[in-house]
Copies of this chain bind each other. A is one copy, B any other.
Amino acid sequence: MKRPTMADIAREAGVSKGAVSYALNGRAGVSDETRRRILAIADQLGFRANSAARALAGAQAKVVGLALPRPPATLGVEPFFMELISGLEAELSTRSYALLLQTVPDETGEIGLYRRWWSESRVDGVLVCDLRVHDQRVTILRELGLPAVVIGPPSSAGGLASIWSDDQISMTEAVEYLVALGHRRIARVGGIPRLAHTAIRTRAFGEACERLGITEATTVSTDYTGENGAQVTRALLCRQARPTALVYDNDIMAIAGLGVAHELGLRVPADLSIVAWDDSPLCRLVGPPLTALSRDISAHGVQAARMLLSAMEGSPVEDVHDEPAHLSPRGSTAPPPQGSRP
């Protein structure tokens, strides 16, 4: 089977390739009459512009890239990325952009990938996630002039357009809620510490606790995996004065934590309250359903894709401040057990 080319259409319509190009791209230079004829023929032949040729001729590749900065093994369980991807996809596909995906082992690898994508002209723009506090990637991207949108706090975006939700607000809400329930010993199972949003959450957690007079407020770091979350939870719950409430940095760890609580014979929420961050359907499916900081990640993705598309068109793009995750109280939180109240 042979692919039809513009030359075929031109021959068929008795015009030049150039005219066909103008007609197909909706540009001036051909009469409406001719345009219609060309479009009809193109349609009938099932013509599709060869993406390589188009990209080569200086137009866009119609591809955006997303580097996934987590080891492949941990990606599977983390619903965040898949939801983000489906949001991105939803927007990109309507504009017939494709999404190029690649996992990278670390920041260096990611920078190499951007360099390669750039020098191969493989993508028109990229989305950057998991921002570090001082992130080299933004520097490189600006240097390369590769359009990019950062999914993360603008404070670390180094001038690139960014979309984020204010984790400080959400964290504060969670802590206030727990304190209002009567909790005084609250611990946090945090994510990877070098990530910018983790830092923000850690600070917010600390500040909120201090403001509310909670002196026993620990944050323990993890790598976001369920195993690690379970491990840390176990350690926390075996302490002398165990916390009465745990705040997790993602939902997977929260679910793992729930499992550990069961295992140790602690009742949730009677003996232990649990708050998850990110509210995948899973949170509603476990027993008890988890109180979670929920936000619409997929919508986040849609928005990010939109921003990137307009950045690629060259229009100046404003940082977007998406709605912060808000607390959805469910069955996993309650006042602390009697004995542990002051």
Tell me whether A298 and B72 are in contact (CB under 8 A): yes
Expressed in whole angstroms, the minimum distance between the Cβ of A43 and any Cβ of chain B is 13
Which stretch (A25-33, A75-83, A126-134, A207-215) binds chain B?
A75-83
CA distance A289 to B227 in the complex (A): 13
- Within 8 Å CB of A262, what residues of B? 287-288
Q: Bin chain A's interface residue count.
A: 35 or more
Known: A1-B144, A101-B101. 18 other contacts (CB 8 A): A1-B143, A48-B120, A72-B86, A72-B89, A75-B83, A76-B82, A76-B298, A77-B280, A89-B101, A93-B102, A93-B103, A98-B102, A99-B100, A225-B281, A226-B284, A230-B285, A252-B282, A259-B289
A-B contact pairs, 27 of them (CB 8 A): A3-B121, A47-B119, A48-B119, A50-B56, A51-B122, A52-B54, A52-B56, A52-B61, A53-B56, A56-B56, A63-B100, A72-B87, A72-B90, A72-B298, A75-B83, A76-B281, A77-B281, A81-B82, A85-B101, A89-B103, A93-B102, A93-B103, A98-B102, A226-B285, A255-B285, A259-B287, A261-B287
Q: Which residues of A contact B (CB under 8 A)?
A: 1, 3-4, 46-56, 61, 63, 68, 72-73, 75-79, 81-83, 85-87, 89-90, 93, 98-103, 115-116, 118-122, 143-145, 225-227, 230, 252, 255-256, 258-259, 261-263, 280-282, 284-289, 297-298
